[in-house]
Structure 1
Amino acid sequence: MLGWALVFLLVAIVAGVLGFGGVASASMGIAQILFFVFLVVFLITMVMYLVRGRSPPV
């Protein structure tokens, strides 16, 4: 998911450089949404890992 956010960020940068403001704006919005979704899922995963208290493998 973070990879897709980076792809959309790159598309936004390229579109902005080439003068396609609408495409750049839409791509940047998608990149931001994907990044925050990734961040939320990552934090939920870390909390679940800490709550479970899994012991390291021996």
Structure 2
Amino acid sequence: MLHYAVVFFVVALIAAVLGFGGIAGAAAGIAKILFFVFLVLFVISLITGRRRV
């Protein structure tokens, strides 16, 4: 999932350089959402992984 967030971030940067503001904003928003979902899932996996040990 972090890979997809990075891909959308790169797409947003390229679109911003080329002047496509709407596409850049949408891609940046998607990247931000995916990054926060990744963080939440990562923290949950850390918590559940420590309880098993």
What's the TM-score, normalizing by structure 2? 0.97
- Greater fraction of residues in helix: 2
1:39 aligns with 2:39: yes
Structure 2 gaps, min length 5: none
Identity %: 57
Question: How far apart are 1:40 and its partner, in Å?
Answer: 0.4
Q: Of the two, which has the highest radius of gyration?
A: 1
Question: How far apart are 1:51 and its partner, in Å?
Answer: 1.1
Structure 1 residue aligned with 2:4: 4
Which aligned runs of 4 or more in structure 1 are off by greater than 4 angstroms?
A: none
Q: Distance in 1 between matches of 2:44 and 2:52?
A: 12
Question: How far apart are 1:52 and its partner, in Å?
Answer: 1.2
Q: Distance in 2 between matches of 1:34 and 1:5?
A: 5
Q: Distance in 2 between matches of 1:51 and 1:16?
A: 44
Over aligned residues, Cα RMSD in angstroms?
Answer: 0.4
- Partner letter of residue 27 of structure 2? S
